[in-house]
Amino acid sequence: MRVIFMGTPEIAVPTLSEIIGRGHDVVAVYTQPPRPAGRGKKDRKSPVHELAEGFGLEVRTPFNFKDPAEVEAFQALDADVAVVVAYGLLLPQAILDAPEKGCLNLHGSLLPRWRGAAPIQRAIMAGDTQTGIMIMKMDKGLDTGDVGLIDEIPISPNMTAGELHDEMMVRGADMMGRALSALERDSMDFTPQSTEGVTYAKKIEKAEARIDWTQPAAVVHNQIRGLSPFPGAWFEIEINDKPVRIKIIKASLVDGSGAPGTVLDDDLRIACGEGSILPLTVQREGKGAMDVETFLRGPGSLKGKVAQ
């Protein structure tokens, strides 16, 4: 089939590779424009942009589809279907209607739960034990389209957002490949979403990353998992008479009690409102991630200090 691919971050890369590998004609790739990144703040192309150029595909990077000329250029591609994976732009009705078989979206939740921008992080932060991937035919609503394929994924007690992201990245590519095969045979059935159980996965705000030690340990643990590895749940603690920001990349729930935020032992076990957590992998400000034993070789014991 003639396919338009629309995606931007790393999670979209395997799906584009799968579509190419299955022999579809990718007539254009739409992705977010290059943006400043890294220490030098030089413009960096998206992961999808890099892959598409490597395959010699036409890459388009509009800032939006408000210009009628952009819509006309999209329509002129005469695509059978558009595949959308974490593209990052709202698509107007004229774009949704342009491909003969519509626009298919790969979404990382069991809709209608966690519609919106951050379904992976929100599922883990909420303590969900089950999530999944859905292939949805897009409409004008926010993740409200009819669903064609479902793949359920259990969330283990210590799974991080990064680990779930990586699993979805692989499974989602295979799902979209199968969806396109079914669509080509006209054997894809779409089912309307339930009107019950709707929740929204709003974008992660910076303020949500700071750990509130007055919360129960289970809540803190879910926050750490849901924000790992990025942006990373963090706290500050005094080291050599200066406050230092520490991100917790991985942690476990452990026994122990004390005033919230208090470091209870030499292993950096920290008391919460109920119970405690033990950081396993941390990242000191300006440094790379490291196991907690390596981190503690610097400041030594922090027992008795209070994490803020």
> What residues form the annotated binding site?
109-112
| CB 189 within 8 Å of CB 245 | no
Show Cβ contacts of residue 144 under 8 Å, excluding neighbours closer than 6 positions. 112, 115, 193
**Domains defined for the chain, CATH in brackets:** 2-200 (3.40.50.170), 206-296 (3.10.25.10)
Distance CA 244, CA 298 (A): 12
> What residues form the annotated binding site for (6S)-5,6,7,8-tetrahydrofolate?
109-112
Is 0.85 surpassed by the pTM of this model? yes
| pLDDT for residue 36 | 87
| pLDDT for residue 259 | 97
- Tell me the residue type at 165: H
Strand bridging mode 242-254 / 25-30: unpaired
Distance CA 251, CA 134 (A): 30
**Is the omega angle on the peptide bond into residue 112 within 30 degrees of 0, that is, cis?**
yes
Distance CA 272, CA 22 (A): 51
DSSP 8-state assignment for residue 299? T
Helices 13-21 and 47-54 meet at what angle, rounded to 10? 20
pLDDT tens track of the chain, all 308 residues? Answer: 999 999 999 999 999 999 999 999 999 999 999 988 777 778 899 999 999 999 999 999 999 999 999 999 999 999 999 999 999 999 999 999 999 999 999 999 999 999 999 999 999 999 999 999 999 999 999 999 999 999 999 999 999 999 999 999 999 999 999 999 999 999 999 999 999 999 999 999 999 999 999 999 999 999 999 999 999 999 999 998 899 999 999 999 999 999 999 999 999 999 999 999 999 999 999 899 999 999 999 888 899 999 99
| pLDDT for residue 42 | 85
| pLDDT for residue 37 | 79
| CB 218 within 8 Å of CB 125 | no
Show Cβ contacts of residue 85 under 8 Å, excluding neighbours closer than 6 positions. 5, 6, 7, 11, 12, 15, 16, 105, 106, 172, 176
